[in-house]
């Protein structure tokens, strides 16, 4: 095997091939280095004397399904310049690693489309080695993302485990890249992010969040000049929760069995938009019957249909008119849950209408959350919490799909 093949095939330059062995279905290349190329690993001096050798074995890129190992007896030298006694540097492998840099690059390419276990099985190496390769790569590229360019943010929390365990995720809305992952949820989870953002001197124009009081206070305190944009998805979701609460109240208060039978099983029909009802299953008729027998439920349902139109107007003036009219009708409905929700919207009307100045939302975060859920199912949980957070920071470069 030529020196050229060592370089072009395995990224090993400046060494000569000694022999090739074929033990147990694998391939072993024994290499050596000319003494004229020895350098002190401390000061780089050429003035060194040999002090023995230490044999090392490095995994490198496989040939087909055959594992390939590089065997190199590393010279140990005494430097006449600085007096250090060290092994010479091995440029084709990272310090204290049992694989070459080309093997590391190959594993990272596979990890873009495969799980850690899949790559470990394919390369015939332990899960921990592949995880170490990916973790060090993520630390180098994503542990400290740059924040100076940020202008628009989306912030939301995600559930990562049972028992109310959460992470707070901050997304660069313009690029879709996760720039921060904090432990827990609420204002405390964002404290490290605010410190880094101030050091980066980023000029944040707008932030999309849900209606969490903790997030509102944190952003007003730390980003006083940024516009708060309340996310449409979370507002509609909150109203759907109120609608389900109303349905349960009406069911408990219903005295006639016929009314109970009509209300039973209508929860998902109430949450659907009218254009999504399945006529083949009789969903429009069932919903119409439930609304006909319950005036309060009918009012709430039709108000829900109209609420989504606030974000579909031509300009902010029309949207404000529609929103204030919606709030007035909800307050006049006499339905407790609607009146409570209307007060909430009136209190935060400016943050809702800010959408027309900054049409952003936490929608991109929902896609990221789905990727995270798929990642968790593929890995069956992450015991290394820091590794999990690094995976989220680099998730925009990964394609996840559940395959059988």
The answer to whether residue 310 scores a pLDDT higher than 50 is: yes
Tell me which of 273 and 12 has the higher pLDDT. 12
What's the whole-number average pLDDT of the chain? 83
CA distance 377 to 56: 38
Q: Which residues pair with 296 in a beta bridge?
A: none
Torsion angle of C-alpha atoms 150, 156, 160, 162, degrees rounded to 10:
160
Helices 316-332 and 295-307 sit at what angle, rounded to 10 degrees?
A: 170
- Residue 65, H or E segment: none
Q: Are 290 and 262 in contact (CB under 8 A)?
A: yes
Q: Are 62 and 100 in contact (CB under 8 A)?
A: no
- Mean pLDDT value across residues 43-51: 91
Q: Per residue in 196-213, pLDDT tens? A: 999 999 999 999 998 888
Q: Distance between the two ends of the chain, CA-based, in angstroms? A: 41
- Alpha helix stretches (DSSP H) within 177-294: 191-200, 213-222, 232-253, 257-263, 267-271, 283-293
pLDDT band at 257 (very low <50, low <70, confident <90, very high): very low
pLDDT band at 36 (very low <50, low <70, confident <90, very high): confident
- Residue with tokens 């209606």, as numbered in its chain: 211
User: What are the tokens at 296?
Assistant: 């309060």
Quote the percentage of the chain above a pLDDT of 70. Answer: 83
Q: Are 362 and 210 in contact (CB under 8 A)?
A: yes
Quick count: other Cβ atoms within 10 Å of Cβ 165? 13
Q: Per residue in 280-306, pLDDT tens? A: 655 565 555 554 546 566 677 777 778
Q: Are 150 and 197 in contact (CB under 8 A)?
A: yes
pLDDT band at 253 (very low <50, low <70, confident <90, very high): low
Q: Are 353 and 162 in contact (CB under 8 A)?
A: no
Beta pairing class for 27-32 and 66-79:
parallel
Q: Which residues pair with 230 in a beta bridge?
A: 209
- Helix (H/G/I), strand (E/B), else coil: 377: helix
CA distance 315 to 126: 58
- Mean pLDDT value across residues 256-273: 46
Quote the percentage of the chain above a pLDDT of 90. Answer: 44
Closest listed residue to residue 229, CA positions, set 347, 363, 359, 369: 359
- Mean pLDDT value across residues 375-395: 77
CA distance 361 to 367: 12
User: What are the tokens at 37?
Assistant: 């190329």
Q: Are 207 and 229 in contact (CB under 8 A)?
A: yes
Q: Are 154 and 173 in contact (CB under 8 A)?
A: yes
Query: In three state form, how does the secondary structure of 73-107 look?
Result: EEEEEEECCCCCEEECCCCCCCCCCCECHHHHHHH
Tell me which of 187 and 247 has the higher pLDDT. 187
Helices 116-123 and 127-142 sit at what angle, rounded to 10 degrees?
A: 130
DSSP at 155? E
Q: Are 106 and 120 in contact (CB under 8 A)?
A: no
- Residue with tokens 């849950």, as numbered in its chain: 337
How high is the pLDDT of residue 275? 57
- Helix (H/G/I), strand (E/B), else coil: 172: strand
Q: Are 229 and 252 in contact (CB under 8 A)?
A: no
Radius of gyration over every alpha carbon of the chain, rounded to an integer in angstroms: 31
How high is the pLDDT of residue 268? 42
How high is the pLDDT of residue 236? 86
What are the Cα distances from residue 158, in Å, to 164, 166, 167, 186, 368?
10, 6, 5, 11, 10
CA distance 105 to 112: 11
């Amino acid at each position: 095997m030529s020196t050229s093949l060592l370089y072009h095939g395995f990224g090993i330059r400046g060494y000569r091939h000694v022999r090739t062995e074929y033990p147990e279905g694998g391939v072993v290349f024994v290499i050596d280095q000319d003494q004229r190329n020895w350098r002190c690993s401390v000061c780089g001096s050429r003035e060194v004397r040999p002090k023995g050798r230490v044999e090392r074995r490095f995994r490198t890129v496989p040939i087909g399904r055959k594992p390939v190992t590089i065997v190199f007896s590393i010279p140990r030298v005494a430097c006449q310049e600085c007096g250090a006694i060290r092994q010479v540097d091995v440029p084709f492998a990272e310090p204290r690693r049992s694989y070459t840099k080309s093997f590391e690059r190959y594993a990272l390419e596979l990890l873009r489309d495969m799980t850690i276990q899949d790559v470990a099985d394919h390369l015939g190496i332990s899960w921990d080695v592949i995880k170490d390769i990916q973790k060090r790569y993520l630390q180098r590229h994503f542990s400290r993302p740059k924040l100076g360019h940020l202008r628009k943010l989306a912030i939301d929390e995600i559930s990562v485990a049972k028992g109310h365990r959460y992470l707070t995720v901050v997304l660069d809305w313009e690029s879709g890249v996760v720039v921060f992952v904090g432990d827990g949820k609420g204002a405390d989870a964002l404290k490290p992010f605010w410190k880094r953002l101030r050091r980066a001197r980023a000029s944040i124009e707008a932030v999309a969040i849900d209606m969490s009081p903790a997030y509102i206070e944190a952003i007003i305190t730390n980003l006083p000049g940024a516009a708060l944009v309340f996310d449409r998805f979370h507002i509609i979701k909150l109203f759907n929760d109120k609608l389900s609460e109303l349905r349960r109240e009406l069911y408990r208060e219903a005295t006639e069995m016929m009314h109970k039978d009509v209300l039973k099983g209508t929860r998902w029909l109430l949450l659907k938009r009218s254009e999504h009802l399945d006529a083949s299953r009789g969903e429009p008729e069932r919903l119409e019957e439930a609304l006909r027998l319950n005036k309060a439920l009918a009012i709430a349902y039709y108000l829900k249909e109209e609420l989504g139109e606030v974000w579909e107007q031509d300009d902010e003036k029309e949207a404000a008119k529609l929103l204030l009219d919606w709030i007035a009708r909800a307050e006049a409905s006499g339905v407790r849950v609607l009146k409570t929700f209307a007060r909430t919207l009136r209190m935060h009307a400016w943050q809702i209408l800010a959408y027309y100045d900054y049409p952003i939302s936490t929608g991109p975060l929902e896609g990221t959350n789905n990727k995270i859920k798929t990642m968790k199912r593929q890995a069956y949980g992450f015991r290394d919490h820091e590794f999990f957070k690094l995976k989220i920071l680099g998730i925009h470069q990964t394609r996840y799909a559940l395959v059988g």
